[in-house]
Structure 1
């Protein structure tokens, strides 16, 4: 599912990479995860979901730059 390899220039660093099998597994879980999230958030009012979405977008933007 994941491969690990030491960095060629800095042996303290371990690089992890998801394998094709790992990607297929994650892809197979997408629908199940979506259904679970929908069930969890079903009781939350739409306005609160919009607020949550905006907060998550801001957090993601902060991570990317």
Structure 2
């Protein structure tokens, strides 16, 4: 999995520090990116999932598309 971490997210030396989030072998981001997604009500999009109907994220997406 370490080889799937983008170059700009790798530390200058040593191994990337957890938590690193992956969906299969696709790198999703680190804690900071997850926290930002949570603050923006975009957790499902961050995880590569479809937001369930009635969720804040689905409502925000519907407003954007309207």
The structure that has the greater radius of gyration is: 1
User: TM-score, with normalisation over the residues of structure 2?
Assistant: 0.28
- Give the structure with the larger helix fraction: 1
